[in-house]
């Protein structure tokens, strides 16, 4: 592993291209406002998708921000360096994304009234998506073979550590009804239904017409051609989309095109063992 590409923060590997020790400290000390909304994801679980959906939920379906502001400034990552530069000018209600585990979130979150939407995705699809992302993101180490990357993924030697630790950390919070759990697969299956659930959770009370407008705008094909969301604004020296586009396939179950039956069995057995006792039921369990 190339040491200048990553820093270690509480045992988690984090990219130095967008984070510093200071930005991570900043996130921890961040003064959360009661109206803030945090979308939390393990990487490659639907972050960019929610950066499209959330502003539309918060502004009642006005497409202006998603057509004029890049996703990373529209709904910034709490832990990245950029956020400190413009957060003072950010109008409430503010939307953030973060890949942080619960215990590294701002200490002010707990006593605020801020809300959290936690998005989970089938770890096998997360791994596949991340494998391609490592091929196109020039600031990350080459993933090696699929098997090598899968081994690293299961050991947590990847960005933001182990998938299982992340998911578990967010199941044991003191946030009560201020956290909503959703999945990438729920969005794939019924995007208008998912958007309606998020709208109700955030108390937005949006009409069916607006819900449908948001869902229509946030479909994969529209986002793929939205220059503010498809990462085409990022210079080729950082992301080489000829190797793999950032918005790659946008489906559930692509793992079936990549895992051998043996790889699938051993991957699933490890995840199942680490999730023992959690009694979580995810859409992909019935596959
Ligand atoms: S990151 O790097 O953590 O911000 O990546 P993240 O945005 O979480 O995940 C990228 C994957 O999400 C897919 N995506 C979508 N799928 C379906 N519909 C929509 N609208 C959508 N937007 C993003 C994206 O294609 C990546 O998944 P894969 O499987 O690689 O296609």
Q: What is the distance of C-alpha 175 from the center of its chain?
A: 19
Q: Which atom of ligand 1 is nearest to the CA of 219?
A: 20
Provide the whole-model pTM.
0.98
CATH class held by domain 6-286: alpha beta
Phi, psi of 286, deg, nearest 5: -90, 5
Is the omega angle on the peptide bond into residue 244 within 30 degrees of 0, that is, cis? no
Nearest Cα residue to atom 27 of ligand 1: 250
Q: For every one of its 287 residues, what pLDDT tens digit does the chain have, with 9 covering 90 and above?
A: 667 999 999 999 999 999 999 999 999 999 999 999 999 999 999 999 999 999 999 999 999 999 999 999 999 999 999 999 989 999 999 999 999 999 999 999 999 999 999 999 999 999 999 999 999 999 999 999 999 999 999 999 999 999 999 999 999 999 999 999 999 999 999 999 999 999 999 999 899 999 999 999 999 999 999 999 999 999 999 999 999 999 999 999 999 999 999 999 999 999 999 999 999 999 999 87
Nearest Cα residue to atom 30 of ligand 1: 129
Question: What spacing in Å lies between the alpha carbon of 49 and ligand 1's midpoint?
Answer: 6
The residue count for the chain: 287
Query: Per residue in 139-175, is it b (16+ CB within 10 Å) or e — as a string?
Result: ebbebeeeeebbebbbebebbbbbbbbbbbbbeebeb
Tell me if 162 sits within 8 A of 98, measured CB to CB. Answer: no
Is the omega angle on the peptide bond into residue 177 within 30 degrees of 0, that is, cis? no
The encoded tokens of residue 154 equal 């299961």
Question: What spacing in Å lies between the alpha carbon of 48 and ligand 1's midpoint?
Answer: 6
Question: What spacing in Å lies between the alpha carbon of 220 and ligand 1's midpoint?
Answer: 9
Alpha helices in the chain (DSSP H): 21-28, 47-59, 64-68, 71-74, 83-86, 123-136, 146-155, 163-169, 184-189, 191-201, 208-217, 220-225, 261-274
Look-up of token digits 């832990």: 79
State if residue 47 touches ligand 1 by the CB under 6 angstroms criterion: yes
State if residue 158 touches ligand 1 by the CB under 6 angstroms criterion: no
Q: Where are the domains of the chain?
A: 6-286
pLDDT tens for 239-277 read 999 999 999 999 999 999 999 999 999 999 999 999 999
State if residue 44 touches ligand 1 by the CB under 6 angstroms criterion: yes
């Amino acid at each position: 592993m190339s040491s200048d590409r990553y820093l270690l923060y509480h045992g988690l590997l984090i990219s130095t291209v967008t984070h510093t020790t200071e930005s991570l400290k900043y996130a921890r000390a961040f003064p959360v406002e009661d109206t803030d909304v945090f979308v939390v994801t393990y990487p490659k679980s639907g972050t960019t998708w929610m950066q499209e959906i959330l502003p539309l939920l918060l502004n009642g379906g006005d497409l202006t921000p998603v057509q004029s502001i890049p996703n990373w400034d529209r709904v910034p990552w709490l832990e990245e360096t950029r956020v400190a530069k413009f957060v003072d000018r950010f109008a409430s209600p503010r939307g953030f994304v973060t890949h942080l585990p619960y215990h590294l979130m701002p200490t002010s979150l707990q006593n605020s009234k801020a809300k959290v939407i936690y998005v989970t995705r089938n770890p096998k699809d997360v791994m596949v998506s991340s494998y391609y992302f490592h091929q196109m993101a020039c600031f990350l180490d080459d993933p090696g073979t699929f098997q090598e990357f899968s081994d690293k993924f299961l050991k947590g030697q990847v960005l933001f550590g182990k998938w299982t630790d992340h998911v578990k950390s967010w199941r044991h919070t003191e946030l009560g009804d201020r956290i909503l759990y959703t999945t990438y697969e729920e969005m794939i299956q019924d995007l208008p239904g998912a958007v309606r659930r998020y709208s109700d959770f955030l108390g937005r009370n949006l009409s069916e017409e607006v819900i449908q407008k948001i869902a229509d705008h946030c479909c994969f094909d529209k986002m793929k051609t939205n220059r503010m969301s498809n990462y085409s604004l990022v210079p080729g020296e950082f992301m080489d989309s000829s190797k793999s586009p950032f918005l790659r396939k946008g489906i559930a179950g692509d793992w079936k095109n990549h895992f051998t039956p043996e790889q699938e069995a051993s991957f699933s057995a490890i995840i199942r063992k680490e999730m023992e006792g959690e009694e979580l039921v995810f859409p992909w369990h019935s596959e």
